Amino acid sequence: MENVLTKLEHEITADILLNRPENEIVDNTVLVHNYLNSKDLNRQFLCGLENRRLDVKLFYQGEQQAQNWINLCHSEEYCHYRNFLKFLKSIVLQLDEIIQGDINLISLGIGDGEKEKVILEQFLLNRQAGLFMVDASVDLIRSSLKNLAQLGVAKEAFVADIVQHNVIKDIGCYAKKSNRDRINLYTFMGSTIGNVSQSAIFNILRETMKPGDYILIEFHVRSSDENYDSLGMVKEYGGDINRGIYFTLLEKSGITEDDGDVSVEYMRHHTLPFIDVIEIYFSFYKSKIVRFFGEELYFAGGEKILMESSCVYTIESVIHLLESYGMKVVKTFQDNSNHYLTTLCQMN
List, in order of start, the domains of the chain with CATH numbers. 7-224+314-347 (3.40.50.150), 244-313 (no CATH)
Cβ 290 vs Cβ 308: under 8 Å: no
Least Cα distance to 23 among 141, 106, 118, 125 occurs for 141
> In whole angstroms, what separates CA 154 from the centre of its chain?
21
Torsion of CA 190, 192, 193, 196, to 10 degrees: 180
15-70, pLDDT tens digit by residue?
434 455 577 777 667 888 888 888 889 999 999 999 999 999 999 999 999 999 99
Cβ 332 vs Cβ 306: under 8 Å: no
Least Cα distance to 307 among 325, 281, 330, 285 occurs for 281
pLDDT of residue 9: 41
Q: What are phi and psi of 19, to 5 degrees?
A: -100, 20
pLDDT of residue 176: 80
**54 vs 29: CA distance, rounded Å:** 35
pLDDT of residue 1: 34
Q: Is 326 exposed, middle or buried (0-12, 13-18, 19+ CB in 10 A)?
A: middle
Measured CA distances, 61 to 36, 42, 83 (Å): 10, 11, 25
241-271, pLDDT tens digit by residue?
899 999 999 999 999 999 999 999 988 887 7
pLDDT of residue 157: 92
What three-state secondary structure class fits 305? strand
Amino acid symbol at 276? D
Beta-bridge partner residues of 66:
none
Least Cα distance to 25 among 35, 14, 34, 36 occurs for 34
Amino acid symbol at 305? I
Name residues of the chain where pLDDT drops below 50.
1-18
Residue ranges with strand state E in 193-286: 214-222, 260-268, 275-284
pLDDT of residue 15: 40
pLDDT of residue 192: 80
What three-state secondary structure class fits 125? coil
